[in-house]
A and B are shown apart, each in its own frame.
Chain A
Amino acid sequence: MRQWLRIAFPRNYLDRRKRAGFLFVLPALLFFGSVFILPLAQSIMYSFYKIAPGGASEFVGLRLYEKVLTDSTFWTAVQNTVQLLLFSVPTTVVCALAVALGLNRIANLKWRNLWASMYFLPFATSLVAAALIWQWIYEPVYGFMNYALSFVGIPPQKWLQSLFQVRPAIAVVSVWVRIGFDTMIFLAALQSIPEEYYEAARIDGANAFQKLWYVTLPLLNAQIIMVCILELIFNFKIFDQVYATTQGGPASASQTVIMLLYDTAFKFFRFGDASVMAVFVFVTLMTITLLQWRIFRKPVEY
């Protein structure tokens, strides 16, 4: 407290310097306070109130939680989101790792950069544009996907219009957009591994596979975990790709949690229900992030 008083009423040069430092930080603090901290508290508060469109609100305790968490629509959305995750997260991470390992082996820097930027390009496009391009590729009658598959004798598929193919089909869009991002992180990590480790492995007579398994992968452990968590968070919040293409269809087969939150809040204006979902998303993602921190605190063993 005394420290703060001295900053408010500086007595000497050092106090004034501290005050300057605080003032530099202040705009950012105000921004994050009013755009994240306060609304988060309000979200939690809204989840306990029934808000009528006229503005009157009534405290209803946990009744909204009971309503949303026993609603099968909500759990269908959670299930769809998790299924999407299970398709896209492992695929993205494994592909990105393979690409990074491959790129790292290309000795010619010019070629390496060219290939790398091609993998990186989708990252620059908006998710909406990406999803719409893929929707055209998936088009059942005139699309390229069915055309390409016809050469290997596979009959035309319905893709985004099929109850079973819609989730993998959307997951592919996420993989396409994110693969470059993860590749860059892995590539940067690979290039920071000291050459001596491989030298030592070679002296011990390790072959290429053993070098990968016993040297490279353990050293990339931290990045692999981090990328997995980032992908989990990114894919859990999936909205743009679904909204732009299927809007949750066919028959809710691609309805995701954020889609449902958006519809509940801004189509039906049931802010209380939407806030329960908002709290659910926050708690889930916070748990994932905290788990990540737990894992990171453990020293990586080589």
Chain B
Amino acid sequence: MANGTASGSTEIEAIVPPRGRAARTVLTSGQVRFRWLITLGIACGAIVVFFPFFWMAITSLKTAPEIQRVPLHIAPDHWLNLANYVEVFKRENFLRYLLNSALVASIAAVSSVVVSSLAGFGFAKYHFPGRDVFFLAIVGILMVPFQSVVVPLYVWMNRLGLLDTYAGIVAPDLVSVFGVFLMRQSIEMIPNDYIDAARMDGSSELRIFFEVILPSVKPAIATLLIIKFMWSWNEFFWPMVVISSPQMKVVTMGLMSFTNMYFIEYNLLTAAAVISILPILVIFVTLQRWVVQAVVMSGLKG
């Protein structure tokens, strides 16, 4: 029997060489051309997608008369003209906006990790009455768009005196459904034996959480920290609702102060945009592996 299957597979291999190096050597010239065509298409698309970033950076180095040249001149006159960046910080309290955003996004990211990993542990490793109903209810919240609850939330913030405060901006951002989901999935992977062994040693449940659970889900924690920081940093709708005073503005709102209906100084606006995007872009490019993981996971997020 074993002999029969073995000879069968070699027969097939004789007709169809296995993939990999052997397969690549038999590519026809048409296939090679096809491959090049695909690479070319992907490269062209990538350049088109990247172009707005390039254009933003280029514009931020130009002076006001330069950007109003007709016909348009692509390269800036001076590649090291940083006057627009200086002007952004002079014209608006942009440093304050950056710090506001950094503060709010950090609080949101950390609190999200703490609450989500606690909840993820509870959902993954304990059997209490109503557990599955509660979990389904939390996942069901994905169906509730934030815009549908924004009016009552505003009324609550007003009653609690949290309008125009950091607490007000960060309140609805403290935990996200995605976080609970991600942490439950990751903690479920931890073998129960580890937890039981810790119990045998007399650890309390909370100590198990800190000493067994948290160290084993470090990648998930990193993922959640990054993605949540990014989401909060880019938040616009809710800050627009709660914030009214200039010194409380977050960076997305700060960008808006460089626009108005009639006249926009695009050289300043693009400089401000570069400043607002840069921190996220640096985090994003250096830690891309985790972000991609989060995105693939959040395919389940609505």
Contact = CB atoms under 8 A, between A and B. Distances in A.
B152 A43 contact: yes
Q: Which range contains the number of A residues in contact with the other chain?
A: 35 or more
Nearest to B50: A118
A29 B134 contact: yes
A17 B47 CA distance: 56
Contacts of A117: 285, 288
Interface string A124-142: 1111111011111101011
A24 B121 contact: yes
B149 A278 contact: yes
A237 B147 contact: yes
B161 interface: no
Contacts of B296: 184-185, 188
Interface in A238-259: 239-240, 243-244, 247, 258
8 smallest beta-carbon distances between A and B, as pairs? A21-B126, A24-B122, A28-B119, A126-B234, A25-B122, A39-B149, A42-B152, A39-B152
B128 A19 contact: yes
A281 B148 CA distance: 7
B contact patch SS: helix
Interface of A: 3-4, 7, 17-25, 27-29, 31-32, 35-40, 42-43, 46, 95, 99, 102-103, 105-106, 111, 115, 117-130, 132-137, 139, 141-142, 144, 147, 176, 179-181, 184-185, 188, 195, 199, 202-203, 208, 223, 226-227, 229-230, 233, 237, 239-240, 243-244, 247, 258, 261-262, 265-266, 271, 274-275, 278-279, 281-282, 285-286, 289-290
A223 B299 contact: yes
B170 to A, nearest CB: 11
**Which of B34, B119, B177 has the largest number of chain A CB atoms within 10 A?**
B119
8 contacts: A17-B126, A27-B115, A27-B175, A46-B151, A124-B280, A142-B67, A185-B295, A240-B236
Nearest to A227: B299
Contact of A289 (B122, B137, B302): B302
A28 B118 contact: yes
Nearest to B52: A133
B131 A21 contact: yes
Contact of A133 (B174, B177, B273): B273
A28 B280 contact: no
A25 B143 contact: no
A22 B46 contact: no
Indicate the member of A21, A24, A38, A124 with the most B CB atoms within 10 Å. Answer: A24
Interface of B: 12, 15-16, 19, 34-35, 38-39, 41-43, 45-47, 49-50, 52-53, 55-56, 59, 67-72, 115-116, 118-119, 121-123, 125-129, 131, 134, 137-138, 141-145, 147-156, 171-172, 174-175, 177, 180, 205-206, 209, 230, 233-234, 236-237, 240-241, 251-252, 255-256, 259, 261, 264, 266, 269-270, 273, 276-277, 280-281, 284-285, 288, 291-292, 295-296, 299, 301-302
Given A35-B149, A35-B153, A21 B128 contact: yes
A95 B44 CA distance: 13
Nearest to B117: A24
B266 A136 contact: yes
A171 to B, nearest CB: 15
Contact of B53 (A121, A271, A275): A121
Contacts of A240: 236-237, 252
